Structure 1
Amino acid sequence: MPEALQVPVHFVAEPIVLPGMVVPIELDDAARAAVDAAQASEAGKLLIAPRLDDRYPTYGVLASVVQVGRLPGGGAVAVVRGEKRAHIGSGASGPGTALWVLVEEVAEPATTDETKTLAAEYKKLLLAMLQRREAWQIVDVVNKITDPSALADTAGYASYLSDVQKRQLLETENVDERLRLLIGWTGDHLAETEVNDKIAEDVRTGMEKQQKEFLLRQQLAAIRKELGELDENGDASTDDYRARVEAADLPEKVREAALREVGKLERSSDQSPEGGWIRTWLDTVLDLPWNVTTEDSTDLKSAREILDADHHGLEDVKDRIVEYLAVRARRTQRGMSVVGGRGSGAVMVLAGPPGVGKTSLGESVARALGRKFVRVALGGVRDEAEIRGHRRTYVGALPGRIVRAIGEAGSMNPVVLLDEIDKVGSDYRGDPAAALLEVLDPAQNHTFRDHYLDLDLDLSDVVFLATANVIENIPTALLDRMELVELDGYTADDKLAIARDFLLPRQRDRAALTADEVTVTDAALRKIAADYTREPGVRQFERLLAKAMRKATTKLAAGAGPIVIDEADLVAYLGRPRFTPESAERTAVPGVATGLAVTGMGGDVLYIEAGATDGEPGLQLTGQLGDVMKESAQIALSYVRSHAGELGVDTKALDRRIHIHVPAGAVPKDGPSAGVTMVTALVSMATGRQVRADVGMTGEVTLNGRVLPIGGVKQKLLAAQRAGLSTVFIPQRNEADLDDVPADVLEALDVRPMTDVAEIVAQALAPADAAVTAAA
């Protein structure tokens, strides 16, 4: 049991004193009292213990006073040497004002082999760290230390250890435990130092490289100026592509590709044509808005108002755009990403006849979304490179129209209108429609690769709108990637509203007229729609209004007063009506039936004539009919012959040379919807009974008389209304299509879904006596 010593104690916050350390201590009142008491005591010792905030210290260091003096600044200081680790006991009384305590010296254990091994390992780590710092004098001191405990206590000088760690060393009596702690701490610090040194070396090397490159570029600029490659002012801003690339806001992969090309440009000679190609490529890449997007409008009410203000009707398209906005607004509210990613864009194809507002609708969609608008005309495009771009190996290579549209828009999420997508051709140069497959596929266009750029371009947030007149001309694979929205034309009421609210004000403004100077009555507008135009759209309607405004302007210039154009005045302004109801005239003789068809110009009325002449029995077809309509005629004749008795037809009337003609022979005609009309015409011809003048029909027929469904019901019913028909027969399986037909059209027409062609014939033919009277 070691003997307890009574010594004065001094608590210090820092430094933490370990045995063997020689440290200065500033002498305040408490420190001076402890030093004076130690010098006056028999043992000449004092205890240096750490001051703790949370507890009373249990260990300290017995120290002797080496010297007492003053600092250059005038402050008093005492230099003490730590000698032994001591355990603090209870307080004691002693002379002076110092605080006295009873302490027990901690005995040093005997050195074991494990202690020597730990000491050697710690010394190796310590020397490695000192050598990295080039502290050679300290290395010599450490090499001379042989006592493991003394070696461990030298850590009191270590700047990389915290006060908490040093206190832990002070309170650890066992030398092995102290060495293990120091080995772990020193190894961690050495590893951290190596990493920091490596980072500092990399930064220094990078800085040197940048400085070297800067100096070389300055020299290069001076050389190029001497060679006359730069202007007199030495302006190299347009040619310093490296600086432009580094300053541009580019995605990382695009930046890497651009820097590779800059490297090629810098290595190429000025006489090499490759330099011009690289400059053009870099200009194209730098001009693209890689990280620029416009913020979508989330005001659904305002968007709907914009669409309604620009276009009358077209509810399907307006609903689709508002739904798109609603989804994006909700994703924004939920904190979900709305830019980029697979399938976030919208791809719609607006199909319908000319003049219904497909192209102008794209601009309205862009305004409603708050996006930039770009129109890409695809009519007549036959080269695949127009879509995907030319490969850079070709002279005069350019990026494709899609990339150019993005650059023209100035943002990565514009509204791109692909106009006339059904008129894209194909030849030996490739198939542009096939190149559009990746562009318009929401699951693929986030990585669209243009041949010229050879970089991935994210088109997933672009709203693509395509327009087409004939759906059948769009390749099936391409149509499958788009949402089909059909614009089937306008009713008479729609045309009146469009003319009154949109067309007439626009034409008045173009003619520099006001509403007070020229007025067109609703009756006149309705007559123009009925007798002067028979189109699904309003393009010709607007031309006629422009003609009327020009004539009105001429009259005003001659001194006429305010002009009111009424129904009776149309002949003077527009000439005689071009269209009059002709169904009664055409069907006045037996053998003529009124059918309904769909063309690239929309729905239309198609008259089919049947006649018979003496000669060898057979079938003659005229009128530029396609293969499908030729087969329909053969099926119709076979059906009438096989069901002659049921239809009231004398078989002898069919044992002649049958001639079926579809007028307007210079216009090619084809399609699977003329079967029932041909059957009706043949029965009318064979029975001598006329087809009712107010009846129109559409549908395909089978050999047993079943009526098959067809397409374009809405367009055909609109055409029937324009032609003045009142009863229309359609296939029973097309009854669901009536949901898309405007209510005013259904009110004006008696639409009868049918399943058997015999029923159509029975209801379409005039009574026998009436036919005879008409013939007489």
Structure 2
Amino acid sequence: MTQNLSLPAPLPVVFLHDTVVLPGMVVPIELDDSSRAAIDAARLAHDGAQDDQPTRVLVAPRLEDRYATHGVVAVVDRVGRFAGGKPAAVLRAERRVAIGAGVTGPGAALWVEAEPVPAPVVTDEVRELAEHYRTLVVSILERREAWQVIDTVRRISDPDALADTSGWAPYLTEDQKRQVLETPDVAERLRLLVGWTRSYDTEDEVTSTISEEVREGLEKTQREFVLRQQLAAIRKELGEGEPDGSDDYRARVEAADLPEPVREAALREVDKLERSSDQNPEAGWIRTWLDTVLELPWNERTEDSHDVAAARAVLDADHHGLDEVKDRITEYLAVRARRAERGLEVVGGRGSGAVVLLAGPPGVGKTSLGESVARALGRKFVRVALGGVRDEAEVRGHRRTYVGALPGRIVRAIKEAGSMNPVVLLDEVDKVGADHRGDPAAALLEVLDPAQNHTFRDHYLELDLDLSDVLFIATANVVEQIPSALLDRMELVTIDGYTEDDKVAIARDFLVPRQLERAALTPEEVTVSEEALGELAANYTREAGVRQLERLLAKAFRKAATRLATGEAERVDVDLEALKDLVGRPRFTPDSHERTDVPGVATGLAVTGLGGDVLYVETSVAEGTAGLTVTGQLGDVMKESASIALSWVRAHAGELGLDPAALDRSIHVHFPAGSIPKDGPSAGVTMVTALVSLLTGRPVRSDVGMTGEVTLSGRVLPIGGVKQKLLAAQRAGLSTVYVPERNRPDLDDVPAELLAALDVRPVGRVTDILAEALEPAGASAGSTGSAVSAA
């Protein structure tokens, strides 16, 4: 670019609103009144000068807040009109100038002084910046395949001219181009352009890469579409048809045995599938939903067995005892049989189902009983494990909008059973949890409510599913952990555990044959005596169920198999003498006589998640500040019971023959096994008995156990779990048990052999227990008046 041309001064100004003109550019402009006046003034001045110089004007951007500081001197090459008829002119910019003060001149235009800009000094830094800028520009142009423009840019050797080519750059804003115009220093101008161009080059490269990937993806999709269409045509010619197409689903829906509302919903989904392409992700969701609906046994039902006697025989053959549960199932069958005989509706309908809750400690046969019920009814059996479930969607299903959505466990159980009237065992319903994903126990309310489950709606299916003819059997260890609303919808049947005689019978009839088969032994090779089974049940296990008993039998049979395999013996008899070698020493022996041989210790009874258990209460008294200390990891209820017990003893010290001063000392009540949490309203009478025993020096009879809560007036309040506590008393070797008088009706549910083995005495006041449970004064070495002081 030439910088030494003569510079006419002053020059008329052509202001441009939306275009920034840099040196070297040739641009057409639309002439408005202002720009026409400037060109006319320039022509008038040129005609008056009578020289051979072309007509020139000063072109500058029009700014809203200020006047431009720089512009370009441009030659007016041509004046005419655009194709649309609007007046126009072609300007060829020559050089950058600074805009000086305004002056007067011919015409109506604005005349200003055009001050020349010094020629740039080309240094090594300027050349390096120019090459960097050229590389960035060429990189952008190569992605656009603008090869002619690339050649032009490469031929420009002047850094000043190269920088001013940015006026053609479409990625620079008008403000950026205006800043380039107003920056006369070429080095600073190139720095600005390098920064802007580098930023755009990075974004443009990412955009180009994404566009290329999208283009390749579209080409691949289109190619696959064409190939699929060709494949469909080939299959049509071969008569094979489309295996997964919408036509196949329509035929399957029309041929399936579906209720009318379900058929209509399925056909609506088939219509959506036909309108959608294979590339639409919703097509996969629709196919999965249709497969699930078509696999459900909407109108499939198994025929129930109405032979009540045969069903009871099946239950008796599978389980020993459990008469209450067997009676409940037998009653259910008897009602259905009579309805069938009289032609009344047996399946479906509101509230025709039954929901039974089997509650009891582990190992008593709750889960296996569900299988026996299904076999007795002639129904399919499905087990749904609910232990640890915390997501409500596990019961109600996921919404179809979620990726990987599935129906809930109830729907999956129905699909697995293949009928609409299976026996569904909801195992461990008391171990259902709740968190931010919802409350599964609340979702079970509709499932287990006989008045609602005929229209159960799963979130995935969004269709009404009739569960009224499903026989739900729930199992639980601890009833108190089940929400009250859910418990209200179930019929509670408790399985409290087995007596020793029951365990021996179960082991003889069920456990021994099963474990012999698992150990590949025959009754001729291994025999088990009744005495050995009784010893295992009495002194090797302390459980409500029979799981540990079965493990001990399995251990004995494994050792017997080893002896037979090594030739050590040809036959193994499991009797009392052989138990020590086969399963070890007894783990449990009656110890109540040892624990209660000193004053201040009483034997109570409690219920845990594993069944009934004995609970010893120990007391001591020491000199010091009067007060009560209670230890043993107790809950608030038992701590209050200890305070009530001490208050009652203080209030009745005279009647008990106690010195009131003996109570004004530090009294300690302790429940051993302090690592086990304990709570519940059933240890009040035990603590009163232990305190009176301590303060009177009279030990508690070693064969006595007791349970019940005491009030400040000395009344004994009723408690729960009577049967489990009596079973625990029998296992612990007790012979006399005191229970609250108001629990007398609960004794009707206790097996006759258990009542025959125990002397169960209902009492109404705690004084009745004290009169009978304590040893007579002077009956032991410790029963002296000085026993309290010694303690």
The answer to whether the superposition gives a TM-score over 0.5 is yes
Equivalent runs, 1:273-284 vs 2, <5 Å: 273-284=281-292
Which position in structure 1 is the counterpart of 2:372? Answer: 364
1:491 aligned residue: 499
Alignment partner of 1:755 is 2:764: yes
Which residue pairs with 1:723 in the alignment? 732
In the alignment, structure 1 residue 586 sits paired with structure 2 residue 595: yes
* Counterpart residue number, 1:562: 571
Match of 2:508 among 484, 488, 500: 500
From 717, 722, 734, give the equivalent of 1:713. 722
**How many angstroms apart in 1 are the aligned matches of 2:282 and 2:729?**
64
Q: Please, which of 581, 599, 609 is the counterpart of residue 572 of structure 1?
A: 581
**Count of residues paired in the alignment:** 555
Identify the match of residue 548 of structure 1 among 525, 536, 556.
Answer: 556
Other-structure match for 1:383: 391
- Tell me the CA shift for residue 229 of structure 1: 6.6
> Against the structure 1 CA distance between its residues 580 and 261, is the aligned structure 2 distance closer, same or farther, given a 3 Å change threshold?
same
SS of equivalent residue, structure 1 residue 298: coil
Gaps of 5+ in 2: 1-224
Given candidates 226, 229, 240, the residue that maps to 1:226 is 229
How far apart, CA to CA, are the structure 1 residues paired with 2:244 and 2:383?
A: 30
Q: What residue is the counterpart of 1:297 in the other structure?
A: 305
What SS is found at the alignment partner of 1:381?
Answer: coil
Aligned to 2:430: 422
In structure 2, the partner of 1:247 is: 255
- Which one of the candidate residues 443, 455, 465 is aligned to 1:435? 443
Per-residue CA deviations over 1:656-711 (Å, capped at 9, x if unaligned) read 11111111101001111111111111111111111110000000111111100000
| CA contact 1:293–1:413 (8 Å) conserved in 2 | yes
Which aligned pairs between 1:110-509 and structure 2 lie closer than 5 A?
Answer: 225-228=228-231, 234-239=240-245, 240-509=248-517
Q: CA deviation at 1:302?
A: 1.2
- Look up the SS of the partner of 2:383 in the other structure: strand
Structure 1 residue 545, shift from structure 2 partner: 0.2
Taking the aligned partners of 1:615 and 1:770, their CA distance within structure 2 comes to: 30
CA distance in 1, matches of 2:657, 2:764: 19
Deviation readout 1:144-170 (Å, 9 max, x if unpaired): xxxxxxxxxxxxxxxxxxxxxxxxxxx
Mapped pair 1:607 → 2:627: no
Partner residue, 2:636 = 627
Query: What is the alpha-carbon distance in structure 1 between the residues aligned to residue 273 and residue 233 of structure 2?
Result: 16
Distance 1:666 1:230, change over 3 A: farther
Opposite residue 685 of structure 1, the aligned amino acid is L
Residues 703 and 418 of structure 1, relative CA distance in 2, 3 Å threshold: same
Task: Say if 1:231 and 1:413 are closer, same or farther in 2 by CA, change over 3 A.
Answer: farther
Distance 1:647 1:286 in 2: 78
* Whole-Å separation in 2 of the counterparts to 1:224 and 1:620: 86
Query: CA 1:298/1:583 → structure 2, altered by over 3 Å: closer, same or farther?
Result: same
TM-score, normalisation: structure 1: 0.70
Q: Is the 8 A contact 1:224 1:230 kept in 2?
A: no
Question: Is the contact between residue 626 and residue 670 of structure 1 (CA under 8 Å) also seen in structure 2?
Answer: yes
CA drift of 1:238 comes to: 3.5
- Partners of 1:653 and 1:686 within 8 A in 2: yes
Q: Select 1:663's aligned residue among 672, 681, 685.
A: 672
- 8 Å CA contact 1:597–1:698 kept in 2: the answer is yes
Q: Deviations over 1:368-401 (max 9, x none)?
A: 0000000000001111111111111111111110
Q: What is aligned with 1:675?
A: 684
Distance 1:338 1:229 in 2: 49
- What code does the residue aligned with 1:703 have? L
The verdict on how the C-alpha distance between 1:695 and 1:315 changes in structure 2, with shifts beyond 3 A counting, is same
Is residue 735 from structure 1 mapped to residue 744 from structure 2 by the alignment?
yes
SS of the equivalent of 1:768 reads: coil
Q: In the aligned structure 2, how far is the partner of 1:681 from the partner of 1:315?
A: 38
8 Å CA contact 1:288, 1:406 repeated in 2: yes
Secondary structure at the aligned position of 1:608 is classed as: strand
- Counterpart of 1:702 (choices 711, 728, 735) is 711
SS in 2 for 1:443: coil
Is the Cα contact below 8 Å between 1:688 and 1:771 reproduced in 2? no
1:745 paired with 2:754, answer yes
Tell me if structure 2 keeps the 8 A contact 1:416–1:465: yes
Identity across aligned pairs (percent)? 75
Amino acid at match of 2:736: T
Distance in 1 (CA, whole Å) between partners of 2:604 and 2:513 is: 37
Q: Cα offset for 1:224?
A: 8.3
Alpha-carbon separation, structure 2, partners of 1:229 and 1:710: 75
What code does the residue aligned with 1:749 have? L
SS of the residue 2:778 aligns to: helix
Q: CA deviation at 1:427?
A: 1.2
Q: Deviation per CA, 1:587-619: give whole Å up to 9, x if none.
A: 111111100000000000000111122221111
Structure 2 residue matching 1:619: 3-state secondary structure: strand
Gaps of 5+ in 1: 1-221
Distance 1:774 1:531 in 2: 31
Q: What residue identity is the alignment partner of 1:236?
A: E
The code of the aligned residue for 1:665 comes to: G
Match of 1:522 in 2: 530
- 2:88 alignment partner in structure 1: none
Cα distance in 1 between the residues matched to 2:354 and 2:337: 15
**1:773 offset after TM fit, Å?**
5.7
| Pair 272,617 (structure 1): closer, same or farther in 2 beyond 3 Å | same
In structure 1, C-alpha distance between the alignment counterparts of 2:585 and 2:233, rounded to whole Å:
71
TM-score (norm: length of structure 2): 0.69
Equivalent residue of 1:771, what SS? coil
CA deviation profile, 1:330-351 (whole Å, cap 9, x unmatched): 1111111111001111100000
The one-letter amino acid of 1:486's match is: T
Question: Aligned in 2, Cα 1:257/1:441: closer, same or farther, shift over 3 Å?
Answer: same
Counterparts of 2:780 and 2:656 in 1: how far apart (Å)? 16
Mapped partners of 1:467, 1:567: distance in 2: 36
**Residue 190 of structure 2: aligned partner:** none
Deviation string, structure 1 residues 84-133 (Cα, Å, up to 9, x no partner): xxxxxxxxxxxxxxxxxxxxxxxxxxxxxxxxxxxxxxxxxxxxxxxxxx
Q: Is the 8 A contact 1:587 1:693 kept in 2?
A: yes
**Offset at 1:235?**
3.8
Aligned in 2, Cα 1:308/1:230: closer, same or farther, shift over 3 Å? farther
Distance in 1 of aligned mates of 2:632 and 2:400? 51
**Structure 2 CA distance for aligned equivalents of residues 638 and 230 of structure 1:** 95
Query: Letter of the aligned partner of 1:625 in structure 2?
Result: L
Deviation string, structure 1 residues 632-654 (Cα, Å, up to 9, x no partner): 11111111111111222222221
Q: CA deviation at 1:771?
A: 3.3
Cα shift at 1:772? 3.5
Asked if the contact 1:225/1:231 (under 8 Å) is kept, the reply is: no
For residues 321 and 680 of structure 1, do their structure 2 counterparts lie closer, same or farther at Cα, with a shift above 3 Å needed?
same
Would you say the 8 A contact 1:650–1:687 is kept in 2?
Answer: no
Q: CA deviation at 1:269?
A: 2.2
Q: Give the letter for the 2:499 counterpart.
A: T
Q: SS state of the match for residue 779, structure 2? A: helix
What letter matches 1:709 in structure 2?
P
Task: Pick closer, same or farther for the CA change 1:582–1:273 going to 2, 3 Å.
Answer: same
Tell me by how many angstroms 1:774 deviates: 6.6
Distance in 2 (CA, whole Å) between partners of 1:290 and 1:229 is 33
Instruction: Determine if contact 1:347/1:440 at 8 Å carries over to the other structure.
Output: yes
Amino acid at match of 1:271: Q
Alignment partners' CA distance in 2, 1:224 and 1:712: 73
Q: Quick one: which amino acid aligns to residue 284 of structure 1? A: T
Q: Call closer, same or farther: CA 1:660–1:508 in 2, change over 3 Å.
A: same
